[in-house]
Structure 1
Amino acid sequence: MTEQNSPRPSRRERPAKPALTRDGIIGTAVALMRAEGLQRVTMRRLAQELDTGPASLYVYVRNTAELHAAVLDDLLGAVDLTPVGASGDWRDRLVRVLTSYTNVLFEHPGLARSALVARPSGERYLDLLDALLALLGEGGVPGERAAWAVDLLLQFATSTAAEHAAGEKDPADAEGEWAALAAALRGASGERHPHVAALGTELLSGPGEARLDWGFQVLINGVLHTPRPGTPDTP
């Protein structure tokens, strides 16, 4: 019998597929995101990768939003939390943790945009929250104020990454948009937009790292001096 006429192995002879688990599904989703981008991480595409039907995945993950949040949580394992136990000014160490979080999102532009609405709830996200709360507590920020502050700090970091991260947008388009904005600011009418005309250059000044650091410092200083409404430390 020739090889062409050889019978195919029956289903019973094929190796059994590994059992589905939530961790396995998320691990495959992360690998798929790295290979094809977050926009390709859908329940249908993931089911195809796992050689199963989409309905099987819903037992472990409710929807695509929850899937993306779980992918985000997995990647948060790369955030550097070592500044928590280090020496030095607590503000600087807090900024280092927040900058590390921002850099993780910079590496994954689609995830940065998704993180604006994603609600991760895994252990790595809790690790990050605990680290930020520990540093704010070290700085003397009351617990109830720190609880609101972490949300504000992470929103700023996430929105910065979502706005400026490059990768999925065509570099030529991004450069063209920036050039158009720069031309508009520098060419603003002194009569119609006098403040923009006076500060057009300043609006474009400064490297991104410096702006990010300054933004964190502004927020931290505001947290230190702004009591939360309805708390004992409210004037």
Structure 2
Amino acid sequence: MTFSICVREPYTDDEGDEQTRFGVAVTTRLPAVGTLCPFASEHGAVATQSLVNVELGRKGIEYLEDGLAVEDALEALLNADEEAEQRQLHGVGAEGAFTYSGEECRGWYGHTEGENYTVAGNLLTGESVVEATAETYEDGWETARDAENPDPLVKRLVDALGAGHAEGGDKREDLEVQSAAVVVASTEERERDHYYNDLRVDATRSPVKDLRETYRLAVEGEEAALEKYAEELDE
């Protein structure tokens, strides 16, 4: 079911405490991918695709919350799955990463793993989709680490999807209705999370473009709401 990226990023919050954020982004040539594939919490990020088994994502996150290493959690789920050879599953935990592409996935399929991230895809136009997604994320993370006001992880994940999409993305051109989603979670405790950390475009012909516009409007809407209700929030 197309391609996705899972990431783990350490950072320092405004109080000077060490935190970790996790994110996952995905796009496909089918509707409502956000209901099926991406899973993230303050303990990790998981993507389940190809012949999707939603329970691999749900239980994967539950296992991470119970303290299992991501490799142990996802490997255990695949070992209990009779159709594992048709699955594609990958993710990151507090430490470590995991990537798996079953031999019965449909080509082009494959995955890659870098420092603190994983990318996987199937039914793609070629390996360059996965490579471009990974390279764009790496470049964005390197820039963010050195920036005074870095782009949020959500924006950088959408940019990574955009790079893969530009390389051809999902090869099923006869399927015009597409979708995309991005989810980010953090160990940092906040009174309220950013509106833009959980976004979906469920049915469109331009998924990455529309997800980027949804992100822009979510940021704009959050800023407007905070300004309008500033006094109430202070109280």
TM-score (norm 2): 0.29
The answer to which structure has the higher helix fraction is: 1
Q: Report which of the two structures shows the higher radius of gyration computed on alpha carbons.
A: 1
The answer to which structure has the higher strand fraction is: 2
